[in-house]
Amino acid sequence: MFSRRLFLAASGAALWLPAAARAQSDKYHFTLGVASGAPRETSVILWTRLAPDPLNGGGMADGLVHVRYRVCSDAAMRKELRSGLVATSHVKGHSVHARIDGLEPGREYFYQFYYGQDESPIGRTKTADRNAREARLAVANCQAWETGYYAGYRDMAEWTPDAVIHVGDYIYEGGVSPLGKVDRPYGGVRLQYEVVRQHNSEEITTLRDYRNRYALYRSDPHLQAAHAAAPWIVAMDDHEVDNNWAGMVPQDPDKQTSAEFALRRRAAFQAYYEHMPIELPPSMMELGGELQMYGAYRFGPAHINLLDTRQYRSDQVCGDGFPGEPPCDDLLNPDLTMTGKVQEAWLMEQLKKSDARYNVLAQQTWFAPYDYVDDPENNKRNLDQWDGYPVQRQRIIDALAQDVSNPVILSGDWHCAAAMMVHKDPDNPASAPVARNFAATSISSICSWHGRIEQARDANPHVKYANGRDRGYLRCIAGERDWTTVFRTVANAASPDSAVNTATEIALKDM
């Protein structure tokens, strides 16, 4: 049986290793830590990347190398269950994806990689189990490097969930900001935060740039700890490629041609794959690449439908700027889609055949509506979110209302924690409640617009809780009797040692 004490001791020792090894020589290869993901009942993906010079392209010579791994039942790595060799090369940035099959459901496993004289940190992972009585799932997103440390990830690693769901903005593509405190009025409040560390280049566009940016983010010890503590299931949002991109359309089509954006998207997909414990590499047969991110996972009473709402999305109509856009007639085009037709049909099928107590849509943006101006004739909305795709949203709400058991929608993107009811007519809070939408706040990205959210609360009675001032993540406990969402918040985002506390807990029955 897994002992948290033992694991923390083991991971603490392992996390100490990279820094110590680096002090002796620059050739330590596991500078980016380890990770696991795509947990199934009998399989999991183990990840690492050889990167002796992580911020400068990785530092490995071109060519094929082999990395050894071991999987054990104990954190001390004595009871070996499996070992093997995985080949990798410069073609995939010397990243390693080892698929381990033949495992048992609902079991903890420990793993480690070996290359030359180097040993990686030890990771802990866990297989899924549809028969588990309870599921403990962390939800994270939006971890801008510059505006905060990752105390939330330290806290998440200590919790050791069954799985971590990351719904995007794992990196940000932008350039370098000046260090120091920011304190200025915005949206009716004082906006206060601190740029505590800096990006390693100007805005990124090439594969080398994206690799170096992932390496920068993954150098953080608390992010490494969260990856080493539990399997992750991941789907990107916009900043892994370009702010507010949609399908093959970039944020600023006047500044990059469609060919340039297609190449950039390919590079971004490739680097994302190289740094994530996911099952399949991108297909480069497609213009711009194609990367399988959406998929279904089952943890005890929770059936998780992880969605990809960027890659197959139609471009935002009526603009995607913020603060807010007034609605325009084009919004009612039924062909507008967040997911594309194939993924929508897949989701409908998943909902229809699920026998789970909780049916979860884990995806990027807010699903529930939000009006930023209390004026029924001219309500302003964020049209990069589901408010910009109301016809498809209604199709999904109608499906959830059919007889889907306890629909729960998880969101990120907006850097603001929230608990929101989704009604049959989402704009009419008097209509029947259909689903709960819990949004995680950001790990470290700033919610500059939290004053505007607060000012508009009265116009949004379906919103039971909203907090854009604090950084943090969600702990979701899908239990036999109820689902509870715990809103964890970081006391001081400018300190990696910050306390992390529970702001509030909301169960489905409370809403």
Interface region with Ca ion, contact rule CB under 5 A, candidates 43-51, 95-103, 166-174, 495-503:
166-174
Among 389, 312, 390, 391, smallest CA distance to 346 is for: 312
Q: Give which of Fe ion, Ca ion, none residue 240 binds (C-beta under 5 to 8 Å, depending on kind).
A: none
Q: What is the closest distance, in whole angstroms, from the C-beta atom of residue 320 to Fe ion in the complex?
A: 14
C-beta of residue 47 within 8 angstroms of C-beta of residue 34: yes
Q: What is the closest distance, in whole angstroms, from the C-beta atom of residue 266 to Ca ion in the complex?
A: 20
Give the footprint of Fe ion on residues 47-106 (CB under 5 A). Answer: none
Report if residue 169 touches Fe ion, rule: CB under 5 A: yes
Its sign, for the CA torsion 64, 59, 95, 33, is: positive
What Å distances lie between residue 457 and 129, 376, 433, 449, 453, CA to CA? 40, 14, 19, 13, 6
C-beta of residue 428 within 8 angstroms of C-beta of residue 399: no
Indicate the residue among 339 and 445 with the shorter CB distance to Fe ion: 445
DSSP conformational letter for 104: P
Q: Which helix (H) or strand (E) holds 258?
A: helix 258-275
Q: What is the closest distance, in whole angstroms, from the C-beta atom of residue 449 to Fe ion in the complex?
A: 12
Q: What is the closest distance, in whole angstroms, from the C-beta atom of residue 89 to Fe ion in the complex?
A: 33
Q: What is the closest distance, in whole angstroms, from the C-beta atom of residue 142 to Fe ion in the complex?
A: 3
**Calpha distance 498→213 (Å, rounded):** 25
**Calpha distance 284→269 (Å, rounded):** 10
- Let me know how long the chain is: 511
Three-state secondary-structure class, residue 179: coil
Q: Give which of Ca ion, Fe ion, none residue 384 binds (C-beta under 5 to 8 Å, depending on kind).
A: none
Indicate the residue among 244 and 379 with the shorter CB distance to Fe ion: 244
Indicate the residue among 14 and 142 with the shorter CB distance to Ca ion: 142
Give the footprint of Ca ion on residues 392-421 (CB under 5 A). Answer: 413
Q: Give which of Fe ion, Ca ion, none residue 445 binds (C-beta under 5 to 8 Å, depending on kind).
A: Fe ion
**Calpha distance 281→91 (Å, rounded):** 11
Interface region with Fe ion, contact rule CB under 5 A, candidates 117-125, 161-169, 226-234, 403-411:
161-169
Total site size for Ca ion, rule CB under 5 A: 4
C-beta of residue 268 within 8 angstroms of C-beta of residue 240: yes
**Calpha distance 463→4 (Å, rounded):** 36
Angle 98-100-101 (CA atoms, 0-180°, nearest 5)?
Answer: 145
Indicate the residue among 73 and 251 with the shorter CB distance to Ca ion: 251
C-beta of residue 136 within 8 angstroms of C-beta of residue 159: yes
Report if residue 238 touches Ca ion, rule: CB under 5 A: yes
Q: What is the closest distance, in whole angstroms, from the C-beta atom of residue 168 to Ca ion in the complex?
A: 6
Among 270, 283, 277, 288, smallest CA distance to 207 is for: 270
Indicate the residue among 129 and 194 with the shorter CB distance to Fe ion: 194
Q: What is the closest distance, in whole angstroms, from the C-beta atom of residue 168 to Fe ion in the complex?
A: 7
Three-state secondary-structure class, residue 428: coil
Interface region with Fe ion, contact rule CB under 5 A, candidates 165-173, 228-236, 306-314, 499-507:
165-173
Report if residue 445 touches Fe ion, rule: CB under 5 A: yes
Report if residue 194 touches Ca ion, rule: CB under 5 A: no
Three-state secondary-structure class, residue 27: coil
In 189-238, where does DSSP find H-type helix?
A: 207-218, 221-229
Give the footprint of Ca ion on residues 294-323 (CB under 5 A). Answer: none
Indicate the residue among 434 and 439 with the shorter CB distance to Fe ion: 439
Q: Which member of 142, 171, 267, 476 binds Fe ion (CB under 5 A)?
A: 142
Q: What is the closest distance, in whole angstroms, from the C-beta atom of residue 326 to Fe ion in the complex?
A: 24
In 333-458, where does DSSP find H-type helix?
A: 341-353, 390-403, 450-455
Q: What is the closest distance, in whole angstroms, from the C-beta atom of residue 165 to Ca ion in the complex?
A: 15
Indicate the residue among 238 and 274 with the shorter CB distance to Ca ion: 238
Among 334, 261, 340, smallest CA distance to 293 is for: 340
Q: Give which of Ca ion, Fe ion, none residue 238 binds (C-beta under 5 to 8 Å, depending on kind).
A: Ca ion
Report if residue 416 touches Fe ion, rule: CB under 5 A: no
Give the footprint of Ca ion on residues 118-157 (CB under 5 A). Answer: none
Indicate the residue among 316 and 359 with the shorter CB distance to Fe ion: 316
Indicate the residue among 74 and 169 with the shorter CB distance to Ca ion: 169
Q: Which tokens in the block code for residue 390? A: 């109301």
Phi-psi region of 59 (alpha: psi -120 to 50; beta: other; left: phi over 0): left
Instruction: Enumerate residues 6+ apart whose C-beta is below 8 A from 377.
Output: none
In 461-505, where does DSSP find H-type helix?
A: none
Indicate the residue among 310 and 357 with the shorter CB distance to Ca ion: 310
Report if residue 364 touches Fe ion, rule: CB under 5 A: no
Report if residue 173 touches Ca ion, rule: CB under 5 A: no
Q: Which residues bind Fe ion (CB under 5 A)?
A: 142, 169, 445
